[in-house]
Structure 1
């Protein structure tokens, strides 16, 4: 065989991700084999842009059969198997090809590759790591068996498994992907056929538990995970992952006592890793044990930093439990305690950890602009980002636009111009709104009519119409060719009722979340008259808007603004439970315990389902009849938590 490496894939309706996968293997592989099991979208047309080796295969509920068809057609010495929702780390191309050219392809060997499974968004950097044999010699004696979660086997004996550090990135576990592809429904049907053969293993019970967890059937997931934990399972690679999934499932079921029992045992089994210290912290946080939670999150970070293993792998299940999870949780807990310096400290660590974490960058800058001058903020950012790199400047401009901060926007806009960085038209529109430049806004909008009917631009049209009191911007909302777009129809109706005369408030079409977003952004940009005008258009909904705005300002550390709204609502007896809770925190954090407990008691009366609020009350309240009454209500409402020893200590009389 003259060719070194073939990529073999099976696909069905993968038009959204296939090109990314095939782009990532350019320069890695010498041929691409694609077996299609019944696509009805543009999958095959996309594949044709990369290869002529596309073959149809009738789907028979058997992944192994389809994959064996693909590897049967390969003509290279080595085979790489990928799913369409996976892609390679392109920096490893030369190293891989050199390695394969020097390795004996006559041996029955399978290389186990690390797979990073993203669990939120790609930008979040949060993932679970798994492994699988994906790289092996092209031999008729190597083939796949089992209809689902297929395994590579050797016809004449045992296959030799070795690790190789070629990183695969997998997006198939993202929530939107699961919804689009309905993978779990398909896989459960295959498991049903497999169970009827009475050939179920611990691995099958584990993967079946994963399927039920994916569709949030937690009780069935737990049942199958526990079936997988036989004595034999302790020798299998799935063992730590199965115990991890059991803990997550118990947490989802709010069986915190059982989860903590597993967690304590797992800490004894794997004390050197941060994973279960971080998970224990999250359980304590869910219970309202915030000080204890902080201690365990800090322990998790320390465990990750102190790990002295033979490699750099400090984690047992996922590195995020020693990095992103405890860091972001500490930000949340310190902001709750109004300890802003500590919140800034851990947000800075998050941004240093992943400079593509736009949410952490936004939250960091949102705190800094309230307390620091623009020059000091720019000096600070210069230590994290390179102002000579286009991607860094564009990112910082984007976040500055979202913050509505004029000085930062102006600086990064000018830096982008100085470095000849092409901006997206919507960014220029945003800039024009922030700087009250209607002429520039109109020019960009006229020159880029294809922009209309995107979520970002539609919101900017509302800003423009409100800021310049010009209802002609509503015409751009009417140019959609998709009459079935309900969200766009809603925006059109909101716009029309906002700017057309109406006789009664009952006729106003109202989307609370959209209007609150507009109000917040107008406030951030400093357009206070426009802010007042908009809120006055909805007098019937003022109390709802005021509660949400007060909560927003509180959560973004603009405490005085939050108190202003809460005070107004208190006068009207319209303050919500969360508002009372936030007021209680403000007073308690300032050492004004009597007032804080008074507000907290009302918050609990308004929202008795908030278990953590009772624990906060227990932490601050002295012995009294009020305390006994509130904690007895906690025992009645959350009796299952009262079996946890640390909770028992908190609520004892």
Structure 2
């Protein structure tokens, strides 16, 4: 039977921490909680479950905090948990069974991370396999200052265990601030982190957020070391940015750049919104229809269905066409 150190980094998680820890009680042999600057009673709650509670001065780098936590672990394996996730029902039993039978040659066990579309997270699928359980004596360090992942080349197995992600709020403001810090420090985002920034900005960004990243995104579109996909994503975000600012020539300049490669639902939605604002309902309907049925989304899955169908409903409401309003309302319910 293997032993497991549950390692967590937390900050102001008083609303959800006990819920998480209660769900994990039977799987840990050691619980390590690292607080990165809570101002609520998170640490008090943590100390009800373990005496291994540590403080870590926040540096803006999630990997540094994760690595500090795992440095205190002493068990065979490390389970890296977040406070807004829980283990439920049969999944608890499956984890307990895994502890009994896991081959010690295995370095990493992947588990399903579920309920990801709740609260509008940056993911476009409701569940995915993630590396969650790691052998401690295998040299493991987390990398990337945000959306951190373990930097290892391991023997990996997949399990059927599902961890439920149940956030009570979004962390978009925190995450975007971290991205600003990385970029302002002169650091270039990896392709992986660039994708996270693009999704975060598209799904959760405010007008002010777009303003703060516009210069950086324009730089991405001119960077010869960036991939075509990275350039297209940046141009797509700039289409929205310039439409919101009423800078229509600049908007169309980025539309053309996207279409020279391959159009996507997000750009079609922006064109639909633009023509709808002009009262040009025919063109608005064409672009919203294209978003829903002719192209695919690249940043937000809802761009290809919900956003586009809502746009079509608005168009046909403006035209007084109740038959088409009903048609697209029913399609929206089906999706």
Number of equivalenced pairs: 315
Question: In structure 2, how many angstroms separate the alpha carbons of the residues matched to 1:72 and 1:172?
Answer: 29
Question: In structure 1, how many angstroms separate the alpha carbons of the residues matched to 2:26 and 2:326?
Answer: 43
Structure 2: gaps of 5 or more residues: 244-249
Any conservation in 1 of the 2:265–2:297 contact (CA below 8 Å)? no
- Cα 1:116–1:264 shift into 2, 3 Å: farther
The answer to whether structure 1 residue 297 and structure 2 residue 305 are counterparts is: no
Matches within 5 A, 1:313-462: 316-353=298-335
Tell me which of 209, 213, 224 is aligned to 1:221.
Answer: 213
Question: In structure 1, how many angstroms separate the alpha carbons of the residues matched to 2:224 and 2:156?
Answer: 23
Matches within 5 A, 1:256-295: 256-267=251-262, 276-277=264-265, 279-288=267-276, 289-295=280-286
Specify the SS of the correspondent of 2:136. Answer: coil
Q: Spell out, residue by residue over 1:352-394, the C-alpha distance to the aligned partner (whole angstroms, 9 max, x if none).
A: 54xxxxxxxxxxxxxxxxxxxxxxxxxxxxxxxxxxxxxxxxx
- Cα 1:107–1:200 shift into 2, 3 Å: farther
Question: In structure 2, how many angstroms separate the alpha carbons of the residues matched to 1:246 and 1:132?
Answer: 30
Any conservation in 2 of the 1:112–1:163 contact (CA below 8 Å)? yes
Give 1 or 2: higher strand fraction: 2
- Cα 1:324–1:33 shift into 2, 3 Å: farther
Question: In structure 2, how many angstroms separate the alpha carbons of the residues matched to 1:79 and 1:251?
Answer: 42
Match of 1:143 in 2: 141
Any conservation in 2 of the 1:209–1:222 contact (CA below 8 Å)? no
Any conservation in 2 of the 1:8–1:74 contact (CA below 8 Å)? yes
- Cα 1:340–1:107 shift into 2, 3 Å: same
Give 1 or 2: higher helix fraction: 1
Structure 1: gaps of 5 or more residues: 269-275, 305-313, 354-653
The answer to whether structure 1 residue 202 and structure 2 residue 199 are counterparts is: no
Match of 2:40 in 1: 41
Which structure ranks higher in relative contact order (CA pairs < 8 Å, sequence separation ≥ 6)? 2
Question: In structure 2, how many angstroms separate the alpha carbons of the residues matched to 1:241 and 1:170?
Answer: 30
For normalisation by structure 2, the TM-score amounts to 0.70
Specify the SS of the correspondent of 1:253. Answer: helix
Specify the SS of the correspondent of 1:39. Answer: coil
Match of 1:567 in 2: none
Question: In structure 1, how many angstroms separate the alpha carbons of the residues matched to 2:229 and 2:113?
Answer: 16
Larger of the two Rg values belongs to structure: 1
Per the TM alignment, residue 52 of structure 1 is displaced from its structure 2 partner at its CA by: 1.4
Match of 1:402 in 2: none
Match of 1:532 in 2: none
Tell me which of 56, 59, 68 is aligned to 2:57.
Answer: 59
- Cα 1:286–1:96 shift into 2, 3 Å: farther
